[in-house]
Structure 1
Amino acid sequence: MSVSPRRLRTGALALATLAVISTTACTAGGSGGNANSGEAKTLTVNTSFVLKTLDPGRVYEATGLTAVHALYDTLLTFEGSDVGKPVPALAESYDASPDAKTFTFKLRSGVTFADGSPLTADDVVFSLNRLKNIKGSPAVTVSELSVSKTDDSTVVVTSATPNPNVPVVLAMPSTGVLNAEVARDNGAKDGADAAQGDTAQQYLDTNSIGSGPYVLKSYEPESQVVLEANPNYWGDKPQFERVVLRNMDVQTQKLTMQRAETAEISLDISGKLLDGLPESLQTSGVQDTVYFLFLNADPAVSAVTANPKFNQALRAAIDYQGIAALYGEGAAPGAGLVAPAFPGTLPASEASTRDVAKAKALLAEAGLTDPTVKFNYPAITYKGVDLGTVATKVQGDAAEAGITLELNPQPLTTFLDEMRSGKSPLGFTPQSLNYPVADSLINNMAPGQATALRSGWTVERADPAIVAAGEKVTETLDLAARATAMQEWQRLMNQSSPYIVLASNSSTVVATADLTGADYSAAGWQVDVAAVGLR
């Protein structure tokens, strides 16, 4: 997939970590300009740091994932913007059992860690067991997995339940393979007591012990992280000998990129913020974020939003094309809960459309005259878009159909607390996937699941067809067929779930014209810095 000058490329990620949004640092990291003034070729990556650790077993935040992906190899990986199919990395091949419970990985020969020692199956087993047992944030992805080896080059991963997405999980940066001997020497544990006994994080924040294309040179979590090329890397050598991740707020990123000339990337300029950038810059993006309304289905919270006819009336009242326009380049009207970046998305032709006359008729059928509902939303700007602007547009659209929405902007923490309490009658939020498995939405948003219960949506209040459609997704082991089942689930959800999908928009990599391979990835690491080169 080629990179186009100043024309956003969009391509085919369980709920957005909204709490993380509020912690993003906003400090300028430098003045930009030519990053290669010295002899060593340096790639500069500007991003507003969301960074807590570089320990693969604990890493969960965006900036950490970008760095860890460059420092540690995984069994499988993704190339460029394609998150549809994992490709070989440490594992040259793998086999899956018909019941999707047993996955056998054949390790490639000749792989060494950065210190020159060989990587074997023991290191893989140790790393995956440690990830599971220290029970950090990313451990949920491997909680049902068991890991063993049959010989020094063969690893067997077993799932307690059928799970065709195991290969995708094993491409995530948190499954990066550590040098087990060095890790143990510095406090790492992989046993059942690891959650209490593992003390390796401090060491791993300042030392990398992986086999990736880069090694960690310096770690300053408030300002910058510096990577240097691994001289013992087994794969294709990265073109840049040095990568500097700089902590920089998004407005400063935009100013920096407006004058940048060589080897510079920014990760947070998206949406309307792309306006005004020089045409010479490159942009790469995929629609990986969905924005949706949630209506409370519990009559005790709101008799209005719990009314199925009101639900359908509000759906019909919204100007989806107009809302998508508020998001700028790379946005599209909402079709379903799966963003276009992932398998299982609905085609653009199925995007929702407006019908004000239908909305008014549905309100009449519901026996509702001038209904009024409190509309909560977080008072933040996300991916270049002020969510208040979108909420005001929804309010205006609803008013044309006879629905009054009382806007209630809230600080993020207040919004989250009220949403989690299940007391919000109507709310608005973005959603991204923490790892590229769209059917993980079933575990969150299907009736009776955690996110659904925050909207009072129990199994008893749901259409039985939706429940059955969700069960079909999880029972389908072929990934192509599962993606089709996800589409059918979304179509039913669009008819009667408490979620109204407004739009999807793109995360974006903005790069100088001299770079190749600066593709945005929805796999979590944003950009594969080792794949970036000079033209």
Structure 2
Amino acid sequence: MSVTPRRLRGGALALAALAIVSSTAACTAGGSGGNSNSGTNTLTVNTSFVLKTLDPGRIYEATGLTAVHAMYDTLLTFKGSDVSKPVPALAESYQVSPDAKTFTFTLRSGVKFSDGTPLTADDVVFSLNRLKNIKGSPAVTVAGLTVDKKDERTVVVTSANPDPNVPVVLAMPSTGVVNSKVAKEHGAKDGADAAQGDTAQQYLDTNSLGSGPYVLKSYDPSSQVVLEANPNYWGEKPQFNRVVLRNMDVQTQKLTMQRADGAEIALDISGKLLDGLPDSLQTSGVQDTVYFLYLNADPAVSKVTSDPRFNQALRAAIDYQGIAALYGKGAAAGAGLVAPAFSGALPAAEESKRDVAKAKALLAEAGLTNPTVKFNYPAITYKGVDLGTVATKIQGDAAEAGIKLELNPQPLTTFLDEMRSAKSAMGFTPQSLNYPVADSLVNNMAPGQATALRSGWTVERADPSVVEAGKKVTSTLDLSARATAMQEWQRAMNLHSPYIVVASNSSTLVATSSLTGVEYSAAGWQVDLAAVGRK
């Protein structure tokens, strides 16, 4: 985290090429001046809305995750910017079996929903079963879990396979516990037929049935979401009685923060967009996104990119420090597929280095003279950086080694379609995690997995060392040892995979100087609204 003066599809991976839809919206909020709630006990949060629902069982988009985290308690949570280990929330303690299949949670006593109804183990079981069975976007995170009540204060979660990351899953906003009695009255179901029979989303979009520090006051997915403090909250009361999330494009966010003098936060200003902001503002950010190239390993698609020597030549040709500079504050040269925010990341000392002479030697060894490759990338700006600027830099670096990259900017949907078809010779995309479990990458990017197959990378085409390194990760149950195994997997991937990580970048919060507790979280909810207070 940096402090200046003060978004499981296929595991937990959110290939940011899918998530970057969030940056294409250009909605604006009414009024672009300073804090419209100055002088009141209101916290204003400006963000470009990525919002489809406030139903915790279906929530998947960034804006919704921020709001739902404030309205619904989960068994566990994360504190501040630390996503290395879950801490108690509704569960005052929990135990894990040696085989990492059984997780026993002891519920905190005295917790009430916002209507004053006591929260029970039955509510926890109902909520988690509903999440699993309505089969919304986040259901994949709990697909292998079963949930049972042992007694009034004990819930047992069982995983079909050993999985030490279950506690992390149960800290995600989608596992928020709903008032099951009221939810059922408005069409909620948790049985095997819930995907067809559950009709509670419309009600949950406009009413909150949680035990969190805030309740929903109003919901307009195109304009703003208003939260008010929960009078029956069991924990420490939030300092702000009211939170207003306003839909605002990033340029307007920057203009607003330049003039803000009240209690105000912007969620989308990062990278080069931070330049020019007043020194009086405070920022908090962590490197939670990596940017990588993918080369197709299928000779039928490209004889050039499928040659491992070309892969390593291009890897050696890139000026990683120069690329990191394009991203601005909070960026670093690429090291591995795990972003520095998460356990298992490679140390900064292992950032990739440029070696043009090595690149030329590898091309000569492969008999490749002035090889030419079409280079696809989405023609968008992401986190304040035009991806075309980065692609052009990579093109220039490659040219110095004798590699010709033909830039092919594409509309986002075209880029995604071609990438999914597995016919793209080379591409460039950001990547982030849906929840803070880096080893979920093995389930997506290892040879033969869904993302790998988009690059034609089958187990048969992979070096055996990569396959074995991936197996070591998934078979290791101790989380500290698993993080070490993840580092070894990334080192093998850097040598033999079709992915070249060029940079990591930070997501950043910008806030007025009067606020405390403004810490960016890579857990998905961006900022814990209830933790924000006044100095």
Q: Determine if the alignment matches structure 1 residue 77 to structure 2 residue 77.
A: yes
Partner of 1:187: 187
- Partner amino acid for 1:474? T
Q: Secondary structure at the match of 1:460?
A: coil
Deviation string, structure 1 residues 353-402 (Cα, Å, up to 9, x no partner): 00000000000000000000000000000011000000000000000000
- For the residue of structure 1 that corresponds to 2:13, the secondary structure is coil
1:293-304 paired onto structure 2 within 5 Å: 293-304=293-304
Offset from partner CA, 1:317-349 (integer Å, 9 cap, x none): 000000000000000000000000000000000
1:290–1:430 contact (8 Å) kept in structure 2: yes
In structure 1, the residue corresponding to 2:190 is in which secondary structure?
coil
Once the two structures are TM-superposed, the CA of residue 28 in structure 1 deviates from its matched residue by 2.1
Q: Over residues 113-138 of structure 1, what are the superposed CA-to-partner deviations in whole Å (9 max), with x where a residue is unaligned?
A: 00001000000000000000000000
**Matched AA of 1:70:** A
**1:489 is matched with which residue?**
489
Contact 1:77 1:171 in 2 (8 A): yes
- Is the CA contact (8 Å cut-off) linking 1:35 and 1:263 kept in structure 2? no
Matched, 1:22 2:33: no
Specify whether residues 486 and 316 from structure 1 end up closer, same or farther in structure 2 by C-alpha distance, changes over 3 A only.
Answer: same
Q: Is the Cα contact below 8 Å between 1:20 and 1:50 reproduced in 2?
A: no
Contact 1:135 1:195 survives alignment (8 Å): yes
For 2:211, give the aligned amino acid. Answer: S
Residues 407-444 of structure 1, C-alpha deviation per residue, up to 9 Å, x if partnerless?
Answer: 00000000000000000101000000011100000010
Deviation string 1:239-259 (CA, Å, 9 cap, x unpaired) is: 000000000000000000000
- Preserved contact between residue 25 and residue 248 of structure 1 (Cα < 8 Å): no
- Once the two structures are superposed, the pairs formed by residues 251-262 of structure 1 within 5 Å of their partners are 251-262=251-262
Aligned-pair RMSD on alpha carbons?
1.1
SS in 1 for 2:168: helix
Mapping of 1:8-87 within 5 angstroms? 14-22=13-21, 24-29=24-29, 30-37=31-38, 40-87=40-87
Partner SS, residue 86 of structure 1: strand
TM superposition shift of 1:15: 3.1
SS at match of 2:85: coil
Structure 1 residues not aligned, in runs of 5+: 7-12
In 1, Cα distance between the equivalents of 2:497 and 2:118? 52
Which whole-Å deviations, capped at 9, do the CAs of 1:254-296 have from their partners, x for residues lacking one? 0000000120000000010000000000010000000000000
- Match of 2:9? none
Secondary structure of 1:210's aligned partner: coil
Q: Give the drift of 1:496.
A: 1.2
3-state SS of paired residue (2:238): coil
1:144-183 correspondence to structure 2 within 5 Å = 144-183=144-183
Give the counterpart letter for 1:90 in structure 2: L
Q: CA deviation at 1:35?
A: 4.8
> 1:134 aligns to what?
134
Shift of 1:210: 0.2
Determine the C-alpha separation between the residues in 1 that align with 2:112 and 2:496: 54
CA distance in 2, matches of 1:284, 1:2: 6
Letter in 2 for 1:33: G
In the aligned structure 2, how far is the partner of 1:338 from the partner of 1:380? Answer: 23
Contact 1:15 1:433 in 2 (8 A): yes
Aligned to 1:521: 521
Residue number in structure 1 paired with 2:451: 451
Aligned equivalents of 1:352, 1:382: Cα separation in 2:
23
TM-superposed CA distance for 1:20, in Å, is 4.1
1:331-370 matches, within 5 Å, as 331-370=331-370
Instruction: Tell me the equivalent position of 1:10.
Output: none
Matches within 5 A, 1:282-293: 282-293=282-293
Q: Match for residue 231 of structure 1?
A: 231
CA contact (8 A) 2:381 2:387 kept: yes
- For 1:328 and 1:399, locate their aligned partners in 2 and report how far apart those are by CA, in whole Å: 24
Q: Tell me the SS of whatever aligns to 2:14.
A: coil
Q: Please give the TM-score of this superposition, normalised by the length of structure 1.
A: 0.97
Alignment partner, residue 418 of structure 2:
418
Structure 2 partner of 1:439: 439
Cα drift, residue 17 of structure 1: 4.2
Give the Cα separation in 2 of the matches to 1:394 and 1:113. Answer: 53
CA contact (8 A) 2:296 2:455 kept: yes
CA shift, 1:26, in A, is 1.9
Instruction: Give the counterpart letter for 1:14 in structure 2.
Output: L
- CA distance in 1 between counterparts of 2:26 and 2:327 reads 22
Structure 1 residues 2 and 19: alpha-carbon distance in aligned structure 2, compared to 1, 3 A threshold: closer
Q: Structure 2: which 5+ residue stretches go unaligned? A: 7-11
Q: Counterparts of 2:325 and 2:3 in 1: how far apart (Å)? A: 23
**Structure 1 CA distance, aligned partners of 2:68 and 2:494?**
38
Shift of 1:485: 0.2
1:501 corresponds to which residue?
501
Q: State how far apart, in whole Å, the 2-side matches of 1:36 and 1:51 are.
A: 23
> 2:160 & 2:189 partners in 1: Cα distance?
23
Question: What's the secondary structure of 2:460's corresponding residue?
Answer: helix
- Spell out the pairing of 1:471-482 with structure 2 (5 A cutoff): 471-482=471-482
Is 1:246 aligned to residue 246 of structure 2?
Answer: yes
Partner of residue 533, structure 2? 533
CA distance in 2, matches of 1:469, 1:37: 55
Partner Cα distance (1:192, 1:361) in 2: 59
1:127 partner letter = S
Q: Which amino acid is the alignment partner of residue 110 of structure 2?
A: G
Verify: 1:407 aligned to 2:407, yes or no. yes
- Cα deviation per residue 1:128-178 (whole Å; 9 max; x = unaligned)? 000000000000000000000111110000000000000000000000000
Distance 1:158 1:336 in 2: 32
Taking the aligned partners of 1:385 and 1:2, their CA distance within structure 2 comes to 20
Find the aligned partners of 1:3 and 1:500 in 2 and give their Cα distance: 30
Equivalent residue number for residue 204 of structure 1: 204
The CA deviation string for residues 444-502 of structure 1, in whole angstroms up to 9 with x for no partner, is 00000000000010001101011000001000000000000000000000001000000
Rounded Cα–Cα distance in structure 2 between residues aligned with 1:259 and 1:27: 20
Q: Distance in 2 between matches of 1:127 and 1:57?
A: 8
Query: Using a 3 Å threshold, how does the CA distance of structure 1 residues 499 and 37 change in structure 2: closer, same or farther?
Result: closer
- Identical columns (%): 83
- 2:35 touches 2:44 (CA, 8 Å); kept in 1? no
CA distance in 2, matches of 1:18, 1:204: 29
CA contact (8 A) 2:16 2:429 kept: no
Q: Does residue 111 of structure 1 match 2:111?
A: yes
Asked if structure 2 preserves the Cα contact closer than 8 Å seen for 1:35 and 1:43, the reply is: no
Q: What secondary structure, in the 3-state scheme, does the structure 2 residue paired with 1:84 have?
A: strand
After TM superposition, give the deviation of residue 111 of structure 1 in Å: 0.2
**Aligned residue pairs, count:** 528
Deviation at 1:32, TM superposition (A): 4.0
- Tell me, in whole angstroms, the C-alpha distance in 1 between the residues paired with 2:130 and 2:184: 11
Distance 1:437 1:315 in 2: 26
Q: Any conservation in 2 of the 1:363–1:369 contact (CA below 8 Å)?
A: yes
Amino acid at match of 2:34: G
- Give a deviation string over 1:52-79, Cα, whole Å, max 9, x none: 0000000000000000000000000000
